[in-house]
């Protein structure tokens, strides 16, 4: 049996992509907001239930641009339990990350810890919808409003996720999506910023294109963050198959939960009460009553050709560029540290077959 990786990019049939490529070849428009770029923005706004979206070459550049768009300085409160790009975007813009602990159930930023971390230098909060499970958005917004802070959501995992009010992407001042190859919806590489109004989108569109307004007018020290026509065309095609892909993910999620429910020491991370989930990841926690350690199970899976991942281990706060920060002190982050030491994300993607799922389940059951 071939190796089973934690994810595998969903791709449409190549022959379905050829007509899009032909249009690009015919038009000779490769970038700079061409026709596919505009079509994808419109299609994503409709699908996601958002008013405005600005497409980017990747989500890290989008995070950096979001911080620039809101003129964020000083300190930003964030989570250590995420992919490094969350905090890297802060350092890249000269902002100091302030790490707080996470909720033991949702693994998202713990709202109880936010207020204690606010200082006169705090200008914003950057929460992450970890694994696509929504943060406590209402409570975070209330704290932000009380202290006059901006909220930028790292929503890299949260494509298509909804709560009772609609898209989770409509919360905060800005929300950033990732369309990386490993994500539920991919454009090979790509990302986007969800914008609340046309004026904000215009500012972001200027910032992602060197600050240009027209041929001779530059209004901001912008960056080159534009999505190409090639990526946008793929996105349009991918959007046609997204519902089917999400339904297949849901079936795998349910199968894992059913099979692992009675395995002592295995805890399947629950949803955070979202109305519409995207099943982007399947994290389990290896508790002390499991027969072997987390790392021993990780190795046993690898020995059987199953390349699960320890998302997110180590904590961001453990890396050299962060561990000297006062907020990175291990005693400040007990839940995040325990979670990082227990987590394994199991393979989940639309083409993961039942035989492969059974193999993964049996390795865990027989440890």
Q: pLDDT tens digit string along 118-164?
A: 999 999 999 999 999 999 999 999 999 999 999 999 999 999 999 99
What Cα–Cα distance (Å) separates residue 338 from each residue in 72, 233, 282, 331?
31, 42, 18, 11
Q: Which has the closest alpha carbon to 156: 128, 136, 137?
A: 128
Q: Which residues contact 338 (CB under 8 A, 6 or more apart)?
A: none
- The confidence score (pLDDT) of residue 326 equals 98
Q: What is the pLDDT of residues 45-95, one digit of tens each?
A: 999 999 999 999 999 999 999 999 999 999 999 999 999 999 999 999 999
Q: What is the pLDDT of residues 249-269, one digit of tens each?
A: 999 999 999 999 999 999 999
Q: What is the pLDDT of residues 209-240, one digit of tens each?
A: 999 999 999 999 999 999 999 999 999 999 99
How many whole angstroms separate alpha carbon 336 and alpha carbon 168?
Answer: 23
Q: Find the mean pLDDT for residues 11-40.
A: 97
Q: What is the pLDDT of residues 276-289, one digit of tens each?
A: 999 999 999 999 99
**Any catalytic annotation for residue 300?**
no
- The confidence score (pLDDT) of residue 28 equals 98
List, as one string, the DSSP characters of 35-65: HHHHHHHHHHHHHHT-SEEEEES-HHHHHHH
pLDDT at 99 over 90: yes
Select the CATH number that applies to the domain covering 14-240 from these four: 2.60.40.420, 1.25.40.80, 3.90.1150.10, 3.40.640.10: 3.40.640.10
Q: What is the mean pLDDT of the chain?
A: 98
Select the CATH number that applies to the domain covering 242-365 from these four: 3.90.550.10, 3.30.590.10, 3.20.20.70, 3.90.1150.10: 3.90.1150.10
**Model pTM?**
0.97
- The confidence score (pLDDT) of residue 1 equals 75
> Is residue 360 helix, strand or coil?
helix
Domain spans of the chain, in order of start: 14-240, 242-365
Q: Which of 183, 201, 208, 226 is catalytic?
A: 183
């Amino acid at each position: 049996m071939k190796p089973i990786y934690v994810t595998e990019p969903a791709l449409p049939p190549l022959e379905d992509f050829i007509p899009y490529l032909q249009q690009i070849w015919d038009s000779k428009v490769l970038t700079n907001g061409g026709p596919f770029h505009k079509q994808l923005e419109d299609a994503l706004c409709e699908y996601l239930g958002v008013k405005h979206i600005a497409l980017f070459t990747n989500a890290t550049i989008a995070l950096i641009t979001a911080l620039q768009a809101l003129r964020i300085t000083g300190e930003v409160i964030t989570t250590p339990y995420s992919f490094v790009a969350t905090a890297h975007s802060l350092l890249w813009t000269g902002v100091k990350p302030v790490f707080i602990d996470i909720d033991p159930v949702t693994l998202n930023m713990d709202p109880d810890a936010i207020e204690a971390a606010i200082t006169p230098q705090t200008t914003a909060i950057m929460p992450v919808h970890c694994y696509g499970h929504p943060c406590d958005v209402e409570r975070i917004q209330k704290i932000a409003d009380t202290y006059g802070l901006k909220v930028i959501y790292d929503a890299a995992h949260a494509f298509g996720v909804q709560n009772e009010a609609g898209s989770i992407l409509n919360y905060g001042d800005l929300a950033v999506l990732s369309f990386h190859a490993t994500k539920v919806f991919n454009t090979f590489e790509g990302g986007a910023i969800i914008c609340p109004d046309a004026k904000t989108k215009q500012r972001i569109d200027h910032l992602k294109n060197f600050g240009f307004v027209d041929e001779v007018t530059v209004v901001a020290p912008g960056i080159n963050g534009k999505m190409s026509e090639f990526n946008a065309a793929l996105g349009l095609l991918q959007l046609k198959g997204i519902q089917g892909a999400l339904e297949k993910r849901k079936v795998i999620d349910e199968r894992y939960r059913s099979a692992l429910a009675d395995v002592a020491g295995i805890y399947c991370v629950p949803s955070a009460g979202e109305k519409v989930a995207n099943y982007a990841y399947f994290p389990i926690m290896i508790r002390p009553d499991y027969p072997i350690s987390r790392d021993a199970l990780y190795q046993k899976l690898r020995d059987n050709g199953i390349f699960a991942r320890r998302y997110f281990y180590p904590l961001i706060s453990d890396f050299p560029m962060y561990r000297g920060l006062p907020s990175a002190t291990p005693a400040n982050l007990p839940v995040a540290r325990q979670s990082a030491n227990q987590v394994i994300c199991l393979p989940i993607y639309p083409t993961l077959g039942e035989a492969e799922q059974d193999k993964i389940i049996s390795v865990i059951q027989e440890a």
